[in-house]
Chains A and B, each alone.
Chain A
Amino acid sequence: DTGVSQNPRHKITKRGQNVTFRCDPISEHNRLYWYRQTLGQGPEFLTYFQNEAQLEKSRLLSDRFSAERPKGSFSTLEIQRTEQGDSAMYLCASSVWDRPTIGKLFFGSGTQLSVL
């Protein structure tokens, strides 16, 4: 069990550029989540997958944001035409979905995005 891995750890980009983040979940976990966390706040839900199906997207997620989990394993989160307000920590988490494990998420260390 190597844990949830996120790459890169840090990303600095200029406004208007596109960025893509990758998340590798714990291998036996069928659910994968993306959250966004700004300084001094709790994480905000963005979207989640069960296997390769994207089951829910937050209304916070504008059309510039897209997430994929093509083979039900790793996931990517892309932000197009970045804005300064996109600067945040992007957290990925994974879990097994079963009643005894509801809400037991395993988080990665996050990708810190800075948009200049």
Chain B
Amino acid sequence: AQTVTQSQPEMSVQEAETVTLSCTYDTSENNYYLFWYKQPPSRQMILVIRQEAYKQQNATENRFSVNFQKAAKSFSLKISDSQLGDTAMYFCAFILYNQGGKLIFGQGTELSVKP
């Protein structure tokens, strides 16, 4: 069975600084995708960044980047120049290529950006 683990329930960062959120996952499959989703206090979940496991290059979306270590099954999210609007729950998620729509989410990390 596939699992996703986020070991940091809460984190905080000062505005304009950099923060890294950790995620590990477990699978015996090779063809999968990893994601970070953000859930602000308004509740609507939003996709932040997506990584295809067969791509060695780490994905980047503006201030958000990942460090994907396939052998270690690690997938961390780095947020640079943190903004107040980054305050949210962040969920790491995983999907197998052949698993239809079944995203598996971690427990989440609550990030607070402080002014």
Mark A residues whose CB is within 8 Å of B. Answer: 31, 33, 35, 40-45, 48, 50, 55-56, 58, 89, 91, 93, 95, 97, 102-110
Contact = CB atoms under 8 A, between A and B. Distances in A.
Nearest to B91: A42
10 contacts: A33-B101, A33-B103, A42-B4, A42-B93, A56-B100, A56-B102, A97-B101, A103-B103, A105-B101, A107-B45
B104 interface: yes
Give the interface residue-count category, chain B: 20 to 34
Interface of B: 4, 33, 35, 42-47, 50, 91, 93, 95, 97, 100-108
B3 to A, nearest CB: 11
Contact of A55 (B44, B91, B97, B100): B100
